[in-house]
Amino acid sequence: MADKAELQAILDTQRAAFTASRPEPLALRRDRIKRVIALLTDHSQVLCDAMSEDFGNRSPQQSMITDIVGTVNFAKYCLKNLDKWAKADKRHIQFPLNLMGSKGEVRYEPKGVVGILSPWNFPVNLSFGPLVQVFAAGNRSMIKPSEFTETTSEAMRQLVEEYFAPEELVVVTGGPETALAFSSLPFDHLVFTGSTETGRKVMQAAAENLVPVTLELGGKSPVVLGRSADFAKAGERIAMGKMMNAGQICLAPDYMYVPEDRQDEAIDGVRKAASAMYPTLLDNDDYASVVTDRHFDRLQGMVADAREKGAEVIEVNPAGEDFSNTNARKMPLTMLTGVTDEMQAMQEEIFGPVLPVKTYREVDEAVDYINANDRPLGLYYFGSDEGEREHVLGRTISGGVTVNDVVFHVSMDDLPFGGVGPSGIGSYHGPEGFKEFSHARAVYHQTKVDVAGLAGLKPPYGEKTDKAIKRQL
């Protein structure tokens, strides 16, 4: 565990190296990204095993898909686009300077040292994903991964030591105290992925040093199931997005809004699909455990609270397994109907396999509900009615949208990924991510002509100046 002075020393070393080596060739950025790719591919097994150990159980195949393949492909996308992104933008210069040889451009330059604070749910992806774009923009980086995935964090620390010099990249491990010290360092930029609650603290700490932040937070991402949707197919996709990583995904569908007269059909679609993908749960390695006892108890409490306040609880337990006598922290998909705003399940981000179902007569009831609550990270609309789709999209605000599926927009490398308001600030992925981690530096080249003198704008001011001002207005 590193204390503040040690962290500051690492930052000082990185910043000194950064300053001394500017300007660095793009080839060096490429080399760093390639080393990330090599680290992840050469040691994918070690990292997937570490994630399984940290979760109690998590399918290595799932980890390969979400944490290794997803990150490596994003790194390759960055390699492919780096030259294009790093080009300066020529900008328009106003008349008459444009005719006198003045020129303007924006250069996308590295900021310096970027801090990355990552969560436990996709510990490798959410550390190395931002990193490859931080590297693409020419920065150096310090990463502080989550203390909840200790084995994975330690594996990342050791591997990074093998592949990178400490003045390029360092992983520091430690608990909330280290995280707090980390977030109060005078970085050139800080990327935080985690809960909205912690995001607030991170932004406060960063504000002390006016460190710009990218906050990738959470929230309650709604599904709006339109009447025109294929309910069976929608059920399949919702079940897949909700049950992957046992619902511990920032973009997991949090709750579902369905037409009142078709609630049973909607629930049936999800139930059938969940049962087909996970016919058993307890000894099924494909189905992840809830990460810690604290989160497991929180989810159990949430269901008990809903039941107590009048919700109907529908457990999808296809093999009729007994979950009461296990310490595997596995929980079946649990749907809740008849939910109200007084229930915990409708007040906080669920982040687990619990799916409240709300009903509407007119789709605007869903729109109004979404607008009355915090702006979500994701919004999902299912249906073939284009008019209704555009109505729902046009009247709501969310970080991103997937139409006719859930979660998927985050996997599209060329689309920016981020929240809005309480679900986040800023974004990465796509060209937007490169810009997020770059400083857009305006560079203006003045003409040789004495413009101020010619225009009468030079002191001593007089009649000529007044005329020039009038003319310009």
Of these, 71, 193, 317, 398, which contacts ligand NAD (CB under 6 A)?
A: 193
- Contact status: 356 vs ligand NAD (CB under 6 A): no
Q: Which is nearer to ligand NAD, 116 or 229 (CB)?
A: 116
306: tokens are 């809903």
**How many residues form the binding site for ligand NAD (CB under 6 A)?**
28
Stretch 16-55: interaction string toward ligand NAD, x if CB under 6 A: ----------------------------------------
Binding mask of the shown chain, residues 402 to 431, with x at each position contacting ligand NAD by CB under 6 A: -----------------x----x-------
Kindly tell me which of 35 and 189 has the beta carbon lying closer to ligand NAD. Answer: 189
CB of 454 to ligand NAD, least distance (A): 54
Q: Tokens at residue 2, please? A: 């590193």
Least distance CB 377 / ligand NAD (angstroms): 6
Distance CA(136)–CA(132), nearest Å, equals 6
Examine residue 244 and tell whether it contacts ligand NAD (CB under 6 A): no
Query: What is the CB neighbour count within 10 angstroms for residue 353?
Result: 29
**Binds ligand NAD (CB under 6 A): choice among 202, 225, 273, 354:** 202
Give the span between the Cα atoms of 263 and 372, in whole angstroms: 23
How near is the Cβ of 327 to ligand NAD at its closest, in Å? 21
Return the residue of 105, 147, 348, 365 that touches ligand NAD, per CB under 6 A. 147
Q: Where are the alpha helices (DSSP H) in 106-149?
A: 125-136
User: Shortest distance, CB of residue 169 to ligand NAD, whole angstroms?
Assistant: 17
Q: Please, what is the minimum distance in Å from the beta carbon of residue 8 to ligand NAD? A: 16
| Pairing mode of beta strands 103-110, 89-91 | antiparallel
β-partners of residue 334 are: 315, 354
For ligand NAD, the closer of residues 181 and 239 by Cβ is 181
Instruction: Assess contact for 417 and 429: CB atoms under 8 A.
Output: yes
Work out the number of other CB atoms within 10 angstroms of the CB of residue 151.
Answer: 17
To the nearest whole angstrom, how small is the minimum distance from the Cβ of residue 181 to ligand NAD? 9
CB 122 within 8 A of CB 106: no
Per DSSP, what are the bridge partners of residue 13? none
Stretch that binds ligand NAD, among 39-47, 188-196, 319-327, 340-348 (CB under 6 A): 188-196
Residue nearest ligand NAD (C-beta atom): 218
Q: Is 176 near ligand NAD (CB under 6 A)? A: yes
DSSP 21-39: HPSPPHHHHHHHHHHHHHH
State yes or no: is 216 an active-site residue: yes
Contacts with ligand NAD, 63-102, as mask; x by CB under 6 A? ----------------------------------------
Contact 209, 186 (CB under 8 A): yes
In terms of CB distance, is 86 or 406 closer to ligand NAD? 406
Whole-number Å distance between alpha carbons of 134 and 426: 14
Among 141, 146, 214, 337, binds ligand NAD (CB under 6 A): 146
Write down the least CB distance from residue 375 to ligand NAD, Å: 13
x-marked contacts with ligand NAD along 104-143 as a string, rule CB under 6 A: -------------xxxxx----x-----------------
- Regarding 180 and contact with ligand NAD (CB under 6 A), the answer is yes
Query: Which residue from 71, 183, 334, 398 is in contact with ligand NAD, where contact means CB under 6 A?
Result: 183
What is the rounded CA–CA span in Å between residue 183 and residue 179?
Answer: 6
Contacting residue, 7, 211, 217, 363, with ligand NAD by CB under 6 A: 217
- Write out the H or E segment, with its range, that includes residue 317: none
Q: Of the ranges 177-185, 257-265, 306-314, 385-393, which one interacts with ligand NAD (CB under 6 A)?
A: 177-185
Residue of 134, 140, 178, 156 lying closest to 11 (CA atoms): 140
Instruction: Indicate the residue among 240 and 313 with the shorter CB distance to ligand NAD.
Output: 240
Mutual orientation of helices 26-42 and 150-163 as an angle, nearest 10°? 130
Residue type, 461: Y
Pick from 217, 266, 279: nearest CA to 237: 266
Of the candidates 109, 216, 236, 349, the residue annotated as catalytic is 216
The Cα–Cα gap between 259 and 276 comes to 24
> What stretches of 120-203 adopt beta strand conformation (E)?
140-144, 169-171, 189-193
83: tokens are: 């030259």
Q: Please enumerate in sequence order all residues whose Cβ is within 8 A of that of 247, keeping only pairs 6 or more positions apart, or say none.
A: 333, 350, 351, 352, 353, 354
Q: According to the binding rule CB under 6 A, does residue 103 interact with ligand NAD?
A: no
Here's the x/- map for ligand NAD, 246-275, by CB under 6 A: it reads as: ----x-------------------------
One-letter identity of residue 343: M
Q: Please give the full DSSP string across 57-88, using - where no structure is assigned.
A: S--HHHHIIIIIIHHHHHHHHHHHHHHHHHSP
Question: Where do we find the tokens 């940290």?
Answer: 54
* Cβ burial, residue 184 (10 Å; 0-12/13-18/19+): buried
Residue whose CB is less far from ligand NAD, 44 or 193: 193
Binding site for ligand NAD (CB under 6 A): 117-121, 126, 144, 146-147, 176, 179-180, 183, 193-195, 198, 201-202, 216-218, 250, 349, 351, 377, 419, 424
User: Known catalytic residues?
Assistant: 216
